[in-house]
């Protein structure tokens, strides 16, 4: 029995041509078990949802144990950022597919007084990375090199991000925020049926990629209720508890990480670790029918894409047309087609590439993009290219939403990229390495594991942050907090957040209904509308196919965790039934 135990979905099961940060996609893909009974039918979102309203705070995240950790912090007087730090480290223990200390992510923050900020703790390319590092001598992309090798890993940002967030906004003692995760790792926790299935499915990959290591392995299959103990991870977390940033980016953990890199011909050095720093960035804002949208700027593509999508559909009578009706679906698909085309060319790390944010969000530009939309026929993606404007210069993940008693709110999406990242552990330290380098464009026009294509803006450069689909978002109504929302799910992250917002604002669904409701997805290339089972009625599907839309059924899309402040002023949670996601409030 190894010191760490758990398991994953084979990469082959995840390659359903979707986008990034894969937890939702991977877990989703092969687990048809999650045709959740509580999910809404195509034309009738379920109204049989138990409503629980809370005054004092709420945590919605991917595992029950992590949700309890976050709520306990709130009850002890911690604020939303304190709870977020505690949840992040707890998820690194209880959600090894996506929770992490070896990955990175984004945070959107809004104070109870309405001030907002965002933190970019996305991974970075090592100093020895190069633009053509994944190409062979003939200039072709080498299969799996950016996914399941030591060279697939970017420099981790999660620990630095949590330290930065805490230093700026934290209230309780740092050690008290990390200790619950240490306890979970050291004492173990009972795994769910879903986690047991994921662990069993990934066993062969863990064995193949980790010779001499026994992490997340056991004799025989994992079963629901088995206790997972991760002693090496507990020791690493103790160092982070005691030394904060230096406990991860220096000392023993840094030595072990660099040793792991050398053993596998990886690129991350001690200098890369010491030089890594997360970045506070100004949020980007938009408006949709009187609601203020506060979301993540680049190198997340999610914020800009979400604002483009909302602007693209704002003038249309979606409320009258109805949830997932043929006109609604056609409009949303055509908007998504154009937005993902723009993403392929114009979005990347703003520290390396001038992202034309104002031009992409210009209403005249978005209106012009939608003029080629024909109600009578699908627009072939081959006829849609990234837009042009004057003056331009050249999918595993997890999300959690938290609101505290004072009304401070945090939306954080964090990831290892593929489910269980690269599947490679840092020997002696007990944590998984990410495979975020696959989010760069290894070669212009060649899709990554999620089917997304890119170009120069997202090419590999030393020290550069790779593009992401993560879309943590906070919404205001009349100057007050209204919604906190986000999801994992690769390329479906953006469209899942978009449709969840529409479900509340346009289709009058409460938070849990909006999260439950079935979703569909289009990302320009491949030219396919992916739908969850029963997302579209037979009549809607027939009408769309007659217009030339290719519709393909897929597994669950995303795992949205969200909080709504309802009309009565209560906190109303939405925890996605597609996973083990949990909402707790008080």
User: Which residues participate in catalysis according to the annotation?
Assistant: 397
Between the alpha carbon of residue 175 and those of residues 26, 253, 408, 457, 555, the distances in Å are 33, 18, 22, 40, 40
Question: Across-strand partners of 425?
Answer: 432
**Residues 112, 115, 121, 122, CA torsion sign:** positive
Question: Across-strand partners of 529?
Answer: 551
Peptide bond into 299 cis (omega under 30): yes
Assess contact for 116 and 475: CB atoms under 8 A.
no
Assess contact for 284 and 295: CB atoms under 8 A.
yes
583 phi and psi angles, rounded to 5 deg:
-115, 130
Largest Cα–Cα separation, the chain: 64
Distance CA 43, CA 116 (A): 36
Question: Across-strand partners of 294?
Answer: 285, 474
Q: Closest Cα to residue 81, out of 401, 297, 399? A: 401
The DSSP letter of residue 406 is: T
Question: How many Cα atoms occupy the beta-carbon half-sphere of 347 within 13 Å?
Answer: 27
SS3 category, 491: coil
The DSSP letter of residue 466 is: P
Q: How many other C-beta atoms can be found within 10 angstroms of the C-beta atom of residue 146?
A: 25
Assess contact for 93 and 430: CB atoms under 8 A.
no
SS3 category, 575: strand
28 phi and psi angles, rounded to 5 deg:
-65, -45
SS3 category, 190: strand
Distance CA 403, CA 483 (A): 10
Distance CA 341, CA 369 (A): 11
Peptide bond into 303 cis (omega under 30): no
DSSP code per residue over 135-149 = B-TTSPBPTTTTTSS
Distance CA 79, CA 56 (A): 11
């Amino acid at each position: 029995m190894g010191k760490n135990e758990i398991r994953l979905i084979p990469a082959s099961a995840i390659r359903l041509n979707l986008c990034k940060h894969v937890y939702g996609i991977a877990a989703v893909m092969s687990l048809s078990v999650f045709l959740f009974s509580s999910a809404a039918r195509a034309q009738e979102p379920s109204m049989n949802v138990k409503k629980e309203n809370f005054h004092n705070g709420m945590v919605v995240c991917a595992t029950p144990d992590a949700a309890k950790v976050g709520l306990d912090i709130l009850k002890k007087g911690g604020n939303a950022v304190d709870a977020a730090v505690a949840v992040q480290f707890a998820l690194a223990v209880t959600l090894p597919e996506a929770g992490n200390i070896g990955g990175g992510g984004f945070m959107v923050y809004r104070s109870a007084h309405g001030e907002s900020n965002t933190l970019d703790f996305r991974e970075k390319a090592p100093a020895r990375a190069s633009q053509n590092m994944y190409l062979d001598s003939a200039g072709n992309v080498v299969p799996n090199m950016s996914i399941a090798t030591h060279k697939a890993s970017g420099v981790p940002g999660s620990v630095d991000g949590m330290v930065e967030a805490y230093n700026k906004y934290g209230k309780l003692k740092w050690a008290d925020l990390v200790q619950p995760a240490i306890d979970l790792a050291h004492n173990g926790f009972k795994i769910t049926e879903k986690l047991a299935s994921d662990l069993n499915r990934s066993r062969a990959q863990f064995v193949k990629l980790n010779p001499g290591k026994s992490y997340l392995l056991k004799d025989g299959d994992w079963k629901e209720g088995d206790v997972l103990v991760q002693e090496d991870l507990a020791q690493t977390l103790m160092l982070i508890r005691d030394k904060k940033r230096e406990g991860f980016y220096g000392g023993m953990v840094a030595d072990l990480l660099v040793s792991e890199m050398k053993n596998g011909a990886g690129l991350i050095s001690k200098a890369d670790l010491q030089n890594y720093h997360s970045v506070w960035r100004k949020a980007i804002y938009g408006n949709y029918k009187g609601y203020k949208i506060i979301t993540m700027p680049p190198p997340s593509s999610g914020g800009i894409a979400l604002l483009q999508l909302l602007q693209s559909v704002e003038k249309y009578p979606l409320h009258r047309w109805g949830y997932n009706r043929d006109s609604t679906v056609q409009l949303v698909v055509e908007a998504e087609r154009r937005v993902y085309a723009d993403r392929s060319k114009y979005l990347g790390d703003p520290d390396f590439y001038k992202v034309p944010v104002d031009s992409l969000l210009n209403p005249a530009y978005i209106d012009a993009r939608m003029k080629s939309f024909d109600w009578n026929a699908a627009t072939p993606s081959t006829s849609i290219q990234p837009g042009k404007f004057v003056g331009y210069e050249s999918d595993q993940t997890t999300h959690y939403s938290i609101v505290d008693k004072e009304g401070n709110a945090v939306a954080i999406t964090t990831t290892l990229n593929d489910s269980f990242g690269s599947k490679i552990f840092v020997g002696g330290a007990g944590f998984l390495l990410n495979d975020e380098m696959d989010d760069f464009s290894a070669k212009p026009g060649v899709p990554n594991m999620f089917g997304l294509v890119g170009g120069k803006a997202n090419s590999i450069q030393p020290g550069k942050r790779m593009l992401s689909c993560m879309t943590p978002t906070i919404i205001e109504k009349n100057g007050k907090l209204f919604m906190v929302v986000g999801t994992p799910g690769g390329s479906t992250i953006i469209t899942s957040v978009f449709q969840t917002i529409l479900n509340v604002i346009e289709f009058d669904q409460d938070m849990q209904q909006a999260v439950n409701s079935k979703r569909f997805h289009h990302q320009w290339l491949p030219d396919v509308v992916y739908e969850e089972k029963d997302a579209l009625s037979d009549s809607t599907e027939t009408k769309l196919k007659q217009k030339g839309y290719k519709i393909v059924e897929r597994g669950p899309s995303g795992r949205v965790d969200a909080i709504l402040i309802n009309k009565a002023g209560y906190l109303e949670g939405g925890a996605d039934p597609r996973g083990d996601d949990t909402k707790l409030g008080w």
